[in-house]
Amino acid sequence: MRAWHGVKAAIVCATLGVCGAAVFIRPAVPRHVADPRPAELYQVIMKELQAVKEADYVSAYRQVSLSMQERYNLDLFTDYIRTEHPDLARFERVEFGSVRMKGRQASVPAYLFLPNGEIAAVTYMLVREEGTWRIDASYVQRRWSRGYRVGGTGL
C-alpha cells in the first residue's frame, strides 16, 4: 500500500513539474515580417516579363517559386511560355493594380498593353521564400480589345 502512495506522489510531482516547466518554456514569438513595398513585388514581375520578352527563359525561371520549379522543369516552363501566351511577351507597357497581402503570399494585378491594342489583365501570385519574393502562379483574368477604357476620366 505504501508503494502505491509513492507511485501516486511521483505522478503528481511529475505532472506539476511539467506544468511548472511549461510556464518558463515558451515557444518563440513569431517574427513579424513587414509587408513588402509594392515596388519590390512589381520589380519581380518586371524581371520575369523582361526576361520572357528577351527569350531569356533561364532568367525568367529564376523568378518563379521553388514549388513551381518542382512542377515544371526548365524545358516544360519554356514550352508553356511559348505556347500558352506568346503574345504577352510582346507587351509594350505594364501597369499594376493594388497589392493584396496574406501572410507570406501576395496577389498583384498587372495590365499588359499589347501592340495590337489589346489589354491583358493578369493576376500574379507571389510567395516569399528564402527571403525573396518569387512568382508562384499567374492567371490571365481577362482581355480587352482595342479602344477599351480601363478607367480614369476623359478630357
Q: Domain residues of the chain, as ranges?
A: 38-144
Domain 38-144 falls in which CATH fold? Nuclear Transport Factor 2; Chain: A, (3.10.450)
Contact 152, 131 (CB under 8 A): no
Q: Record the cell numbers describing residue 7, joined without a space.
A: 507511485
Contact 142, 118 (CB under 8 A): no
pTM for this structure?
A: 0.72
Q: Going residue by residue through the chain, which has 155 residues, state the pLDDT in tens, using 9 for 90 and above.
A: 666 667 677 677 667 666 666 666 766 555 555 678 899 999 999 999 999 999 999 999 999 999 999 999 999 999 988 888 788 889 999 999 999 999 899 999 999 999 989 999 999 999 999 889 999 999 998 888 876 666 543 44
How far apart CA 44 and CA 50 sit, in angstroms, is: 10
